[in-house]
Chains A and B, each alone.
Chain A
């Protein structure tokens, strides 16, 4: 469970997130919004990279603060939009490093790595150097990085950008298996949302304009709004409405 109340975030004199309150149960939560809506800033705040200016973040039983920082970090898997890797590492070493650096205890580490590799379908590529992987395989390694150790909160920032349709289908399949975590998936692609998200959060100008199921967002659709699918039309209708206000 992830509970966010009255969250504010910004840089210098700029406020990026304004008084955001959200509650998320286990499952996949798609984070939609135009560029500059504050999605990446929100994810970085949840990832504990930048402390919130104001407000509270609670993950399961722990409220984010200096005393609980390590415990909470151990439960977060974060994959930024542009993630990197040491090309000399094998896939297994890359995931093992993530497990070690996330504080997975030594006795459980090997099993955690194996589990992440299996879930992402990289079991037979464990000994392959990262530099030899295709784009799709690299992305799967990134997901393995994020899910190793079964974190309670998985933050994925635009994880399907640059993937071909088959790779995106594969990605959705992998993510759908993570049933015991809150997964926040920032994306521009409504077909990803359609395919796997149980909940949708639409962010705009630092606030949540909508939180609900994809079906609920579709219901907001104005038939005249731009978009190829009901979800896209719901999204564009919502944003057009907020602009008018």
Chain B
């Protein structure tokens, strides 16, 4: 059969043709009839009371259709934006959930907070009109410094959240940890800042909303990673439009990295206002709006201590973290520094006692939520930084110290002291392979050679674990999630034998249209060109929880496997009838039903045709049609693991850090498309390197202004900032999903910051500056670290 693909093949992406020819269809590419354009007036202040707002000049401006303020949305009873995960603090009290109106009512709480919405015939006219809105602000003191947000006397972000404390959460056995420290042979302490990042998907967020007066139906085209969740939240919590009257379409989406999971004010308002003005409304963020309003990522400050016995075995680990929530709670903000962070602090190690305390703080900054890795990069950065520091302190090679503490391959399933049960893994062969690929043994000679040239070389290791494939619904429900985390799939065969694969996992760069087709092709023997993957439309796909947390293949792919199993089961009944054989004797191989032990066979396409033209058909036993639906709810998280080794060379005269070699060896379980996986790893590493060396959202402590609000000041990794990467794989299949896959989307970003920073610290150790550097290790910071006296 022509172009049937197998799992493991480097299949070229089906979606590439449109992207490479300029025929992709992104939200902003839509041309809607009688379309109006929205512009949002944004707060120039980090914290201010709105004493008055006069929209009369704007309303009279050329082309203006409507101007809305917070009073209008409040009068219309538009609900506030929600946070969908309830975290209970150490006393069992739910987190503080202050109101988050789509348009500010009487107070603005971060630069970029929405103050008014202008709708006009063109985007330029809407912008012109917005300039004419007069807002009388009483500027109030702002707090943007996370380290001071919880201090007495800090400006209050919400009057109903005393001390800016959203929650004070803990996990682990504090008494056991204290006991371990009491007996420790050595204790290593560390303070780290996990720098705030701005996701910067290259396509800015956008929304286009339509309202059909005749039917009362709404359609929202939006840049979303999970259109069904957007519909659910808008329907059930914010706008009250019944789910069946709201269609959400996420067409081609130009990158997300987490930032397009969330439900934002802008798309909410476009839908609401489309009904209000009876016209289509389109909005596309400009980049400065993206900087101010896309949910940011990371932003922790942490003090941690690790206890060791005389052999360097970790005996206890205690962590105290403050996490920034920003001014309001974004959709999943509360879960990120708790269940996606605290639970990962065992890393790959057998540390028997761990206790983590996390205080989440409100500040007058853009809301913070999941960004590629979400909590797990923060955990990995902390664990891998302190492990390398401990190795230096006790004079043991950092690779050796890791190996001494790794969970043995025989110990799985392994229960950590921070709630998770790791399903599988084998860590030593991974680090060994990474050491081989990086010529770890030869590093000393390279370091000496660099020293002779006046350069500082360093090598850094990061051995990460992540929990992904989110997630068993019952587990996340018990932890406070407001949704289930299964995924759905539908295999809809057509009478002519081709098939549409409908999935709730949205693809915005990950290549699902290929990988998911590959699964179906391999499983059912259908040629690739006979398979079309459909995603991103609530009116086509039964339901979906979306794409985040490296879950698409592990959960969405598994749902497709389940649906394929149903196709095979039904096909067997039909084939048995057609071949006049017992169903029990039918086997399915290479796309064909066979009577075992004979040469009788019925190709799947023939069974499909019979199902749609059921003339000779077991109609009393089997319904016509070949269209199967499945929902898959995983029984556990998946646990990809790996080791990255980074080698850097620092120019001490300028502080410039050059990455000279970067190796990543991963265990993603089985791999469906190695080419796609490589791309995910490369991209993840690039973002991790960006965090380590370049990227930081900077706020002015006095004014609360975002200082890194454009590409003139926010350093994005460019092609000549990055090296090429050396990749390797070791495989332990996931034991609990039908594909044996673990997920690969976030690994690079999770592990890389620690790999790079451990290398930087290793280089700086030659001049005693290893403890004076934080991310991002920009030239200025490295130079300052070297020259601090």
Q: Do A and B originate from a single complex?
A: no
- Which residues in B have some Cβ–Cβ distance to A below 8 Å? none
